[in-house]
C-alpha cells in the first residue's frame, strides 16, 4: 500500500463499465496531482491495468456477475446484483485499509456503486459520489416515479432537454417500469441523498438550469468539475481495441457532415432493432460512423445480421467499426455537432 499523501488518503470506488472507468481514473489523476494518495477499489469485471497507473493502489473485490447477467437487457437488475454482490467485500476492504493506514480522508464512489454510501455511514467516513454523466440525469432519477406528463416535463425541461424528447422518454418509462428499475431507483436516490457531496462531470455554464434544480432537490452540495477529460487528458482505459481506420475515413469527409452512432460498451439490441437502426441511418442520406460492438447484437458475432442490401446501399457513405477512439472522433471537425440524440428502443435502461 502506498504512503499517505500530504493531503490525505482517498478511496475511490469504481463501476466496471467503460463510461464509468475512464472518468473515475481521470478524477483520480486530478486528485493525485493535488497531493492526495489514491486507492481505487474495483470489481473483478473489466479490471483496470495497474501498470498503466503506477501512482495508484488498486484493490480488486469479487463481483460474482454471471455471463447471463452481463448479456441481459435488464441494466437495472445488473446494477442491483453488482451492488448486492460487492457490498460485503467492499466493507471488508475498507475496514482493512482503515486498519492498515489508520485513516481515510474520504470515499468517492460512482453513483451506480451506491452500496458504498451505506458502508461509509457504518464506518463513519465521509462519502462523496461521482456522477460520470450530466447533472440532468440526476433529475431523471428524481422524477422517475412521477409519470404525470406535465409534472414530469416541468421538473426536468431545460435548454438541453426539450419537451418533445422528454415526452418520448416518459412514454418509454411508463410502458414497462419493472420492479428492478423501481428498486434500483430507490437505492440510488437514498445513497445520493445521504452523500456528503455530489461531484458531476459537467460544466456549470452548460447546465445552469439543471444544476439549479439539482441544488434545490438534493441536500448535498454539488460540484461541477468537468469535463474531466480536459483535466486529465492522457488517461487510456479503453476496454476494447480502438479501430483508428475510422479517423482516416473521417479525414475524407466534409466538415460537420458525419453522424456518429454508438450504443456504448454495455447496451445490447436484437435483430429487429438492428434493422430499424440500419435503415434509419441509410435513409438519412448522410455519411455516418457506426460503432457495432462485437456481441452487441443478440445472436451474432458482429455485423452478419445486417439486413440484406444495407451495406450495398450505403457504400462508402458508411464507416462501420467494432470500436473507436471516442475522444478523437468527437473532437473531429467532420462529426456533426448536434444536441444529444435519444435512441429509444422500448426499454428503460437509459437511467
Q: Are 27 and 164 members of one domain?
A: yes
Q: Is 11 helix (H, G, I), strand (E, B) or coil?
A: strand
Contacts made by residues 203-211, CB under 8 angstroms, sequence distance 24+: 203/227, 206/160, 207/134, 207/135, 207/136, 207/158, 207/160, 209/158, 209/159, 210/134, 210/135, 210/136, 210/139, 210/156, 210/158, 210/160, 210/161, 211/135
Give me the pLDDT at residue 348, please: 30
Q: Are 218 and 303 members of one domain?
A: no
Asked, for residue 337, whether it belongs to a domain, the answer is no
Q: Are 154 and 31 members of one domain?
A: yes
* pLDDT confidence bin for 135, thresholds 50/70/90: confident
Give me the pLDDT at residue 331, please: 86
Asked, for residue 19, whether it belongs to a domain, the answer is yes
* pLDDT confidence bin for 126, thresholds 50/70/90: very high
Residue 141 clears pLDDT 90, i.e. is over it = no
pLDDT in tens, 212-228: 988 998 999 999 987 88
Asked, for residue 326, whether it belongs to a domain, the answer is yes
Q: Are 227 and 314 members of one domain?
A: no
Cell of 141: 432519477
Distance CA 20, CA 27 (A): 11
Give me the pLDDT at residue 155, please: 56
Contacts made by residues 153-156, CB under 8 angstroms, sequence distance 24+: 155/213, 156/210, 156/213
Asked, for residue 301, whether it belongs to a domain, the answer is yes
Mean pLDDT over residues 277-295, rounded?
Answer: 91
Q: Are 221 and 279 members of one domain?
A: no
pLDDT in tens, 292-350: 988 888 878 888 889 999 999 999 999 999 999 888 898 899 998 654 443 333 223 33
Give me the pLDDT at residue 207, please: 86
Q: Are 126 and 273 members of one domain?
A: no
Weakest-pLDDT range from 92-96, 125-129, 158-162, 231-235? 158-162
Q: Is 241 exposed, middle or buried (0-12, 13-18, 19+ CB in 10 A)?
A: exposed
Q: Are 217 and 298 members of one domain?
A: no
Mean pLDDT over residues 132-151, rounded?
Answer: 71
Give me the pLDDT at residue 337, please: 61
Give me the pLDDT at residue 58, please: 97
Residue 140 clears pLDDT 50, i.e. is over it = yes
Asked, for residue 345, whether it belongs to a domain, the answer is no
Asked, for residue 240, whether it belongs to a domain, the answer is no
Which residue numbers are catalytic? 20, 110
Cell of 55: 501512482
pLDDT in tens, 227-271: 888 887 666 667 778 899 999 999 999 999 999 998 877 777 889
Asked, for residue 336, whether it belongs to a domain, the answer is no
pLDDT in tens, 52-103: 899 999 999 999 988 777 776 678 888 999 999 999 999 999 999 999 988 9
Give me the pLDDT at residue 169, please: 56
Q: Are 226 and 250 members of one domain?
A: no
What one-character-per-residue DSSP string does 39-70 give?
Answer: EEEEESTT---GGG-TTSEEEEE-----HHHH
Residue with the larger pLDDT of the pair 41 and 300:
41
Q: Are 55 and 190 members of one domain?
A: yes
* Of the residues 208, 231, 254, the one at which a domain ends: 231
Q: Are 27 and 161 members of one domain?
A: yes
Domain count, the chain: 2
Q: Are 221 and 278 members of one domain?
A: no
Residue 7 clears pLDDT 90, i.e. is over it = no
Give me the pLDDT at residue 136, please: 82
Q: Are 174 and 296 members of one domain?
A: no
pLDDT in tens, 163-211: 445 555 555 555 556 677 778 888 999 999 999 999 999 888 888 888 9
Asked, for residue 350, whether it belongs to a domain, the answer is no
Instruction: Provide the residue range defining the domain that includes 319.
Output: 245-331
What CATH number does the domain containing 268 carry? 3.40.50.2000
pTM: 0.79
Amino acid at each position: 500500500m502506498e504512503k499517505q499523501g500530504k493531503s490525505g488518503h482517498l478511496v475511490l470506488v469504481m463501476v466496471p463499465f467503460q463510461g464509468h472507468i475512464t472518468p473515475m481514473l481521470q478524477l483520480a489523476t486530478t486528485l493525485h496531482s493535488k497531493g492526495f494518495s489514491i486507492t481505487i477499489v474495483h470489481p473483478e469485471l473489466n479490471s483496470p491495468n495497474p501498470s498503466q497507473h503506477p501512482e495508484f493502489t488498486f484493490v480488486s473485490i469479487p463481483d460474482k456477475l454471471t455471463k447471463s447477467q452481463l448479456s441481459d437487457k435488464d441494466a437495472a437488475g445488473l446494477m442491483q446484483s453488482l451492488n448486492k454482490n460487492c457490498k460485503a467485500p467492499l466493507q471488508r476492504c475498507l475496514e482493512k485499509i482503515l486498519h492498515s493506514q489508520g485513516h481515510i480522508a474520504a470515499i468517492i464512489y460512482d453513483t451506480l456503486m451506491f452500496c458504498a454510501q451505506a458502508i461509509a455511514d457504518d464506518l463513519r467516513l465521509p462519502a462523496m459520489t461521482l456522477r460520470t454523466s450530466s447533472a440532468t440525469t440526476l433529475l431523471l432519477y428524481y422524477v422517475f416515479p412521477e409519470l404525470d406528463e406535465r409534472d414530469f416535463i416541468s421538473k426536468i425541461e431545460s435548454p438541453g432537454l426539450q419537451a418533445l424528447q422528454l415526452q418520448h422518454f416518459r412514454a418509454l418509462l411508463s410502458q414497462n417500469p419493472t420492479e428492478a428499475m423501481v428498486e434500483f431507483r430507490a437505492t440510488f436516490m437514498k445513497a445520493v441523498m445521504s452523500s456528503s457531496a455530489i461531484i458531476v462531470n459537467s460544466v456549470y455554464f452548460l447546465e445552469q438550469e439543471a444544476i439549479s434544480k439539482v441544488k434545490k432537490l438534493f441536500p448535498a452540495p454539488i460540484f461541477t468539475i468537468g469535463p474531466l477529460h480536459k483535466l486529465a487528458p492522457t488517461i487510456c482505459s479503453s476496454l476494447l481495441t480502438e479501430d483508428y481506420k475510422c479517423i482516416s475515413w473521417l479525414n475524407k469527409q466534409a466538415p460537420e457532415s458525419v453522424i456518429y452512432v454508438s450504443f456504448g460498451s454495455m447496451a445490447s439490441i436484437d435483430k429487429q432493432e438492428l434493422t430499424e437502426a440500419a435503415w434509419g441511418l441509410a435513409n438519412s442520406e448522410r455519411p455516418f460512423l457506426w460503432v457495432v460492438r462485437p456481441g452487441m447484437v443478440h445472436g451474432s458475432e458482429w455485423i452478419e445480421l445486417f439486413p440484406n442490401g444495407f451495406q450495398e446501399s450505403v457504400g462508402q457513405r458508411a464507416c462501420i467499426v467494432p470500436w473507436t477512439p471516442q475522444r478523437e472522433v468527437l473532437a473531429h471537425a467532420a462529426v456533426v455537432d448536434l444536441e444529444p440524440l435519444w435512441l429509444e428502443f422500448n426499454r428503460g435502461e437509459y437511467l
